[in-house]
Amino acid sequence: MRLVLLGAPGAGKGTQAKKLIEKHSIPQISTGDILRKAVADGTPLGKEAKVIMDSGGLVSDKIVLGLVQERLKQDDCKKGYILDGFPRNTAQAEALDKILSGMGAPLTVALSVDVDKDVLMKRLTGRRTCKSCQQMYNIYFSAPKKEGVCDKCGGALFQRDDDKEETIKKRLDVYDTQTAPLFDYYGKKGILKSVKGTGSIDDIFNEVCKILGS
Ligand code: AMP
């Protein structure tokens, strides 16, 4: 399965991707995670990316495409993969198609995870992550027992810079203008499927498996 996950920030693509990779033993390629790692490692690319990520904009296509192309060449992608957060615009989607046709292995499906805007806002502004073990919480939907403290390890919880309200508005705007046209793009190619991204994680996952026939 060579899958692209589409959906607004906060739609739960990453959560579903994690369940799919467990089930299918294929890697999740999240450009957001790769970029956050570069930021945490303090690489030159990370430093360049951080400013843009904190503002809610998109990192340049050239940087992101370079990262994805390198990742797709690795052996663990031979059986398939899940692209999460990439492509983010039509230029990236076209470039991806070119790379994959060069590899003789085009995408099999683009799956969109659909969630209303008001729910997205709560999911994103409420998100907190543990500094020590990376466990995620949401102050609206899955709050820790004690405010600001991780239930699992007692670590301090923090809010990602790009989860602050102003940045989120910008990220959702960027999604509407740049990423939403991809529904049309993949629809025309006949590989677009969609799932409702609200309800329990397991129920959504069952739906995802039905839709993917897996
Ligand atoms: P995400 O975790 O996927 O929401 O990504 C977090 C941030 O990383 C985004 O707001 C962008 O600034 C940047 N980013 C992630 N993926 C891409 C991409 N495919 N193209 C450009 N920027 C990206």
Q: How many domains are there within the chain?
A: 1
The string of pLDDT tens digits covering residues 46-105 is 999 999 998 889 999 999 999 999 999 999 999 999 999 999 999 999 999 999 999 999
C-alpha span between 212 and 214 (Å, rounded):
5
36 catalytic? Reply is no
208: alpha, beta or left? (left if phi > 0; alpha if psi -120 to 50): alpha
Q: Which residue lies with its CA nearest to atom 11 of ligand 1?
A: 58
Q: Output the average pLDDT for the chain.
A: 94
Confidence of residue 167 (pLDDT cuts 50, 70, 90): confident
Q: Which residue lies with its CA nearest to atom 9 of ligand 1?
A: 53
Average pLDDT over residues 3-27: 94
Would residue 36 count as lying in a domain?
no
Would residue 39 count as lying in a domain?
no
Would residue 49 count as lying in a domain?
no
172 touches 9 (CB < 8 A): yes
Would residue 50 count as lying in a domain?
no
CATH of the domain at 11: 3.40.50.300
The whole-number pLDDT of residue 162 equals 76
Cα(117) to ligand 1 centroid in Å equals 18
Does residue 161 carry a pLDDT above 90?
no
Length of the chain (residues):
214
171 catalytic? Reply is yes
2 catalytic? Reply is no
Nearest 5°: CA angle at 199, between 197 and 204? Answer: 55
128 catalytic? Reply is no
- The residue segments making up the domain with residue 16 are 2-26+79-212
The whole-number pLDDT of residue 163 equals 83
The whole-number pLDDT of residue 164 equals 85
Would residue 122 count as lying in a domain?
yes
C-alpha span between 59 and 38 (Å, rounded):
12
Average pLDDT over residues 134-161: 94
Would residue 194 count as lying in a domain?
yes
Would residue 204 count as lying in a domain?
yes
Determine what percent of the chain is predicted with pLDDT higher than 90: 87
Does residue 214 carry a pLDDT above 80?
no
Would residue 190 count as lying in a domain?
yes
Collapsing DSSP to helix, strand or coil, 210 comes out as helix
The whole-number pLDDT of residue 55 equals 86
Helices (H), 56-178: 61-72, 90-103, 117-125, 165-174
Does residue 41 carry a pLDDT above 90?
yes
29 touches 81 (CB < 8 A): yes
CA-nearest of 156, 145, 3 to 85 is: 3
Does residue 130 carry a pLDDT above 90?
yes
Catalytic site residue from 13, 71, 123, 128: 13
The whole-number pLDDT of residue 206 equals 97
